[in-house]
């Protein structure tokens, strides 16, 4: 989070995804390297994970997103 931004995404292999981002394999996240994992959520299905990703990306206020992440649950 060198650039002060959060990366929100979903994957079935978080360790690999984080390594790929920090190796610069993804152009969109290359600017923020090095990335660190600050929060993760586990879902039963990919559809649930994608819906959660869409919801989190829709949150425009940084403080609201940070509050939600720090609690670990949706309000």
CA-nearest of 11, 15, 19 to 52 is 11
Pick left, alpha or beta for residue 60 (phi over 0 → left; psi -120 to 50 → alpha; otherwise beta): alpha
pLDDT for position 2: 57
Tokens in use for 73?
């649950």
Mean pLDDT by runs of 10 across the 75 residues of the chain is 77 93 83 87 95 92 86 57
Q: What's the whole-model pTM score?
A: 0.76
pLDDT for position 19: 92
pLDDT for position 75: 40
pLDDT for position 27: 79
């Amino acid at each position: 989070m060198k650039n002060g931004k959060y990366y929100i995404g979903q994957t079935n292999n978080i360790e690999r995804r984080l390594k790929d981002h920090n190796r610069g394999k993804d152009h969109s996240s290359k600017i923020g390297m090095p990335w660190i994992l600050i929060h993760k959520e586990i879902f039963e299905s990919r559809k649930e994970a994608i819906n959660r990703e869409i919801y989190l990306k829709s949150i425009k206020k940084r403080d609201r997103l940070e509050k939600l992440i720090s609690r670990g649950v949706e309000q």
